Amino acid sequence: MTARRAAKTSPSTDGPAPTPLEAWEVFRQEKDGDPMRHGGSVMAPDAELATHYAREMFGRRQESVRLWIVRRSDVVDLHDPDLLQPPLDRSFKKPGGYVMRDKLAAARAASGQEKPKASSGRWRRGAPPRTSERSES
């Protein structure tokens, strides 16, 4: 495992056992007011060196105004489909109400009608508002 690279040092070392490397996640802000976005990770034995390496990796070319450096093992990881992707239809929880696309498609299929073509004009009447379809309530 890469996190234990440091353990493989010269056997002639008679000092204390080397501190193992661990992963630190780095979040960066490109300019004031921007959200912190995940930039990547660095390997370091402690917060001080992690800060230096994060600066080298994600800040030395003036590409960031702020970095957050977080020990990966301190991150609370939630990755559970039962909690995050519940299987039943949740479209009624969205601000746009029910998503009609599937029902319309079924109704068209039943009546034998074709889907109306998108007009070449500026407004596409059939397109649902994208923002409301993505956001949740």
Partner 1 sequence: MAYPTDAGNPQNVDGLDELLRSMADDEFVIGFSDSEWTGIAPLLEEDIAMSSLAQDELGHAQALYGLLAEVTGAADVDTLAYDREPADYRHARLLDHGRGDWAMTIARRYLYETADAVRLGALAGGSWAPLADLVGKLVREERYHLMHVGLWLDRLATTDGEPRDRLIAALDVLGPDSGTVFTPLRGEAALLDAGILAQSMAELEREWRSGLDPVFDRLGLPIPPPTRESARGRTDHGAAFGWLHGEFTAVRRTDPGATW
Q: Where does this chain bind partner 1 (CB under 8 A)?
A: 5-6, 10, 12-16, 21, 42-44, 48-49, 52-53, 55-57, 60
Nearer to partner 1 by Cβ, of 49 and 70: the residue is 49
* 4: CB partners within 8 A, 6+ apart: 20, 21
Total Cβ atoms within 10 A of residue 102: 11
18: left (phi over 0), alpha (psi -120 to 50) or beta: beta
Q: How far is the CB of 95 from partner 1 (least distance, A)?
A: 45
Q: How far is the CB of 42 from partner 1 (least distance, A)?
A: 5
Nearer to partner 1 by Cβ, of 8 and 117: the residue is 8
